[in-house]
Each structure stands twice: as structure tokens, then as C-alpha cells.
Amino acid sequence: MAITLTESAARHVQNFLAKRGKGVGLRVGVRTSGCSGMSYKLEFADEVGDDDIQFTSDGVTVLIDPKSLAYVDGMVLDYTREGLNEGFKFKNPNVKNECGCGESFSV
């Protein structure tokens, strides 16, 4: 079981963490909300929780709670640019349906 970051995503996360000046890594999660049932959570992590599962990808510590992991196992996190906009993109092999905007999904 794992979550991986592309090289570009890892570089950006490290850069953001360095500029932010604190934080142990990146917290990824899933919560039940949104038009298609579930949505992603992407936050800075200031501490490691007791239940957290840790991965290291390209030097970045990724934290996830065990319940979320089931939905996002095998996922790749990428950082891309689309026109003026730029940000993180999840490539989740478990997803069956996405809402039009892609902000929520179902498995």
C-alpha cells in the first residue's frame, strides 16, 4: 500500500514547507462530502498523529489516516499548471466516478 508523489509535486511540497517555516510533511485524506460522495483533503501537517500511516516519497513525508488510505491506495499526486492556474492533481486508481469539476468522487 502506498501513495507516491511525482518529482514535480515533491519539489513543490518541499518548497512550500520550507517557505512556511514549519511542518513535518503533507497530510492527505478523504472525507465524505461533495456532490459525488467523497472529497480529498490536502493539508500541511504540523505533527504526526497516533494512527497516522507514513510514507516517504521523493524525500517528502506523507501522512494519512488508515480509513482514508483504503480509498486512495496507489494514488499518485502530481503538480501541474493549467493556463494561469497551477496546483496539485490526484491520480487515483480507485475512482469510479467524478463530479464535473472533479472536486469530489466516488469509488
Stretch of 23-31, 54-62, 64-72 lying at the interface with another protein (CB under 8 A):
23-31
Dihedral angle over CA of 73, 81, 45, 60, nearest 10: 70
Please give the grid coordinates belonging to residue 91.
491520480
Stretch of 16-24, 51-59, 65-73 lying at the interface with another protein (CB under 8 A):
16-24
What is the C-alpha separation between 52 and 45, in angstroms, rounded? 11
Q: Which residues bind another protein (CB under 8 A)?
A: 12-13, 16, 19-20, 26-27, 29, 31, 33-35, 39-46, 80, 82-90, 98-99, 101-104
